Amino acid sequence: METTEERIEIIQGDITTLQVDAIVNAANSSLMGGGGVDGAIHRAGGAAILAACREIRQKEYPHGMPVGKAVLSTAGNLPSKYVIHTVGPRWGGDDEVARKQLAEAYLNSLNIAREKRCRSVAFPAISTGVYGFPKEQAAPIAYTTVADFLRENDLPKKVIFVFFSAADLETFRSCAGIIGE
């Protein structure tokens, strides 16, 4: 049986090209696309993702999706089956609330993946771009939340952290306390 650490993979790459059951989108509360990974996922996935997000907004979150929540949509033209959209917190300083909300964004995404019987899910670094969450503080929150979840759940079998740049990958590894890989 694989250990929790063996179920976590950390790579550099483009999340929109991964063949996994679900990718996680670091979305904004409008769910209508934006910059960074959010924009890349919407562009690569095409109109089907935007249409699904519009429907979610109308039915579930007419005033915008709250921070820490997560929802599922089609993956459109992406090679994954699903996109799990989650809204991470904006960093405003030394903020315990933001830390808890970041953990909730990962946890709620993982719960959706488990409920949909996803065997594999890929995460970007949530909130570390335009939302300004310090990468050095986000990394241990992300890694610990995922590792704790995997210790208690059979699914997903594999969680992949995907970083667009080598520098972000190395920051994540060092700040999450991961040696080698």
Annotated catalytic sites, by residue?
A: 38
User: Which two three-digit tokens encode residue 48?
Assistant: 């089907």
Query: Is 47 in contact with 107 (CB distance < 8 Å)?
Result: no
Rounded Cα–Cα distance for residues 112 and 72 (Å): 7
Please spell the DSSP secondary structure of 116-153, one letter per residue. Answer: TT-SEEEE--TTSSTT---HHHHHHHHHHHHHHHHHH-
Spell out the long-range contacts of 48-51 with Cβ–Cβ below 8 A and sequence spacing 24 or more: 48/74, 48/76, 48/77, 49/73, 49/74, 49/75, 49/76, 49/78, 49/83
SS3 of residue 21 by DSSP: coil
For residue 160, what are the CA distances in angstroms to 5, 46, 163?
Answer: 11, 23, 10
Could you tell me the two tokens for 87? 């809204």
